[in-house]
Amino acid sequence: MGLRDEVLGELERLREQKQIASSQEATVNIRSTDEDLVYFIKHQITEKEFAAFCIVSEVEIDKLSGQVDITSEIGNIVVAKKSNHQKCQRCWNYWPTVGKNAEHADLCERCVGVVAG
């Protein structure tokens, strides 16, 4: 089982509990014992790109430190929750930048650039 599969499993759990309807509503927090994986996601592809790959609004990944009981087969703790951000009415993603532009209060920063551009 890969990391994306673990993320998808957490998303399915949230769907079953009726906490989210779409994966784009979710924010995912990952803690991993695999330093190479953490480096790869943070510096080679970025957390934002991994979030797009998992079709979630946001991913945060960090090194897991200390002694922790890990249930994951590959040494990860994956926690998904409903995003606190607003939904962009153009791309339907939940971003912290939605509502920051007075002229386009229902769009994220990226979509404002496209629409205004």
Domain chopping of the chain, boundaries: 3-84, 85-117
Give the model's pLDDT for residue 68: 62
The per-residue pLDDT of the chain, averaged, comes to 91
Rounded Cα–Cα distance for residues 57 and 75 (Å): 23
Q: Per-residue pLDDT averaged across 89-116, rounded?
A: 94
Structure tokens at 82: 């409903």
- Find out whether 30 and 80 touch, Cβ atoms under 8 Å: no
Q: CATH classification of 3-84, choosing from 3.10.180.10, 3.40.50.11900, 3.30.2320.20, 2.140.10.10?
A: 3.30.2320.20
Q: pLDDT digits over 40-67, tens only? A: 999 999 999 999 999 999 999 999 876 6
pTM of the entire predicted model: 0.84
pLDDT band at residue 75 under the 50/70/90 scheme: confident
